[in-house]
């Protein structure tokens, strides 16, 4: 079910790790950001848009992780955009003939066999340094950085004051660093938070890739909380983050395992360095 969170902006939340699909209304149709996750959910999204009389005229993938690269034939054949680096990473993944089988094999039991992978990752990269999504709708600023994934983009829907954060600024997930493809994942993440800090004054609503939509006060609080968490990771100390440990939201206890894994891998990188 679509929920309006601001003028011209709606959100559909998946049952799978509270993944948010963002719908932005334009003059002739809508822009879909990160549609997902199960086939029935995307089918429901297509039905809702049909009832609204709003065709899909463009798509955008915030970053090249499978749950943000999904599509369905019922959404049509509109161009699907991403940053140049994000799209190049998605294409490289798609060139591996076995990637869809491996994703399907490792899906959690609750969604196994229910995720449409046929159109996975068919993303058109925008020219490097592009700062706006090319579509006939509200001006959407692309804020590219290298936190979490190569070519990750957060999006500022300027006239509606909405920041679509991608996989950042979540109330249930701690910052998840890109520990595979970057030389300095800590600094990359802190640099991304500085970029979001710079645009936060223009936003009244924040939509994370996973978790709850928040207002301007929560936007600021989440930036500060994520920065404190990353600083604690850098210093190998306890951040006292409520998203980790016994204070975590019920059903999200596994985030503590993510946190422990990041500590181990960063310690290993430091020893090798």
Is it the case that residue 1 has pLDDT exceeding 90?
no
pTM of the model: 0.96
Instruction: Provide the 3-class DSSP secondary structure of residue 59.
Output: strand
Is it the case that residue 272 has pLDDT exceeding 80?
no
Give ∠ CA 60-63-66 in degrees, rounded to 5.
95
Query: What pLDDT score does 270 carry?
Result: 67
Query: What pLDDT score does 219 carry?
Result: 98
Query: What pLDDT score does 269 carry?
Result: 76
Query: What pLDDT score does 271 carry?
Result: 62
Domains by residue range for the chain, with CATH: 3-272 (3.60.15.10)
Question: In this predicted model, which residue has the larger pLDDT, 246 or 155?
Answer: 155
Query: What pLDDT score does 251 carry?
Result: 92
pLDDT per position as a tens digit, 76-116: 999 999 999 999 999 999 899 999 999 999 999 999 999 99
pLDDT per position as a tens digit, 170-224: 999 999 999 998 789 999 999 999 999 999 999 999 999 999 999 999 999 999 9
Query: What pLDDT score does 181 carry?
Result: 80
Minimal CA–CA distance to 164: which of 45, 42, 63, 28? Answer: 63
Is it the case that residue 16 has pLDDT exceeding 70?
yes
Query: What pLDDT score does 5 carry?
Result: 98
Percent of the chain with pLDDT over 90: 92
Is it the case that residue 163 has pLDDT exceeding 70?
yes
Is it the case that residue 273 has pLDDT exceeding 60?
no
Residue with the two structure tokens 């998946």: 14
Per-residue DSSP letter, 127: P
Query: What pLDDT score does 252 carry?
Result: 95
Query: What pLDDT score does 63 carry?
Result: 98
Instruction: Provide the 3-class DSSP secondary structure of residue 87.
Output: helix
Paired residues of 31 in beta bridges? 24, 58
Side-chain half-sphere CA neighbours of 156 within 13 A: 19
Average pLDDT, the chain: 96
Query: What pLDDT score does 19 carry?
Result: 98
Cβ(22)–Cβ(126) below 8 Å: no
**Helix, strand, coil content of the chain in percent (nearest 5):** 35, 20, 45
Minimal CA–CA distance to 228: which of 189, 202, 258, 261? Answer: 189
Side-chain half-sphere CA neighbours of 237 within 13 A: 5
Q: What is the mean pLDDT of residues 12-30?
A: 97
């Amino acid at each position: 079910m679509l929920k309006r969170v601001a003028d011209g902006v709606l959100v559909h939340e998946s049952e799978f790790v509270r993944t948010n699909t963002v719908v932005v209304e334009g003059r002739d149709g809508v822009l879909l950001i990160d549609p997902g996750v199960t086939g029935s959910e995307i089918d429901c999204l297509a039905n809702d848009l049909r009832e609204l009389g709003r065709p899909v005229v463009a798509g955008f993938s915030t970053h090249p992780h499978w749950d943000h690269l999904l599509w369905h034939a019922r959404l049509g054949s509109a161009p699907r955009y991403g940053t140049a680096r994000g799209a190049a990473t998605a294409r490289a993944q798609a060139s591996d003939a076995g990637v869809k089988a491996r994703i399907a094999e490792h899906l959690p039991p609750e969604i196994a066999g229910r995720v449409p992978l046929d159109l996975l990752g068919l993303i058109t990269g925008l020219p490097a340094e592009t700062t706006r999504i090319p579509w006939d709708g509200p001006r959407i600023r692309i804020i590219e950085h290298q936190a979490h994934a190569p070519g990750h983009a957060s999006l500022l829907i300027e006239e509606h004051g909405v920041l679509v954060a991608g996989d950042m600024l979540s109330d249930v997930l701690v910052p998840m660093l890109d520990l595979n493809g970057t030389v300095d994942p800590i600094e990359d993440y802190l640099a991304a938070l500085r970029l979001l800090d710079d645009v936060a004054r223009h936003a009244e609503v924040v939509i994370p890739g996973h978790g709850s939509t928040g207002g301007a006060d929560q936007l600021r609080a989440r930036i500060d909380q994520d920065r404190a968490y990353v600083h604690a990771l850098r210093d190998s100390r306890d951040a006292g983050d409520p998203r980790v440990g016994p204070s975590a939201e019920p059903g999200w206890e596994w985030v503590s395992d993510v946190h422990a894994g990041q500590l181990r891998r960063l310690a290993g990188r430091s020893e090798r360095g």
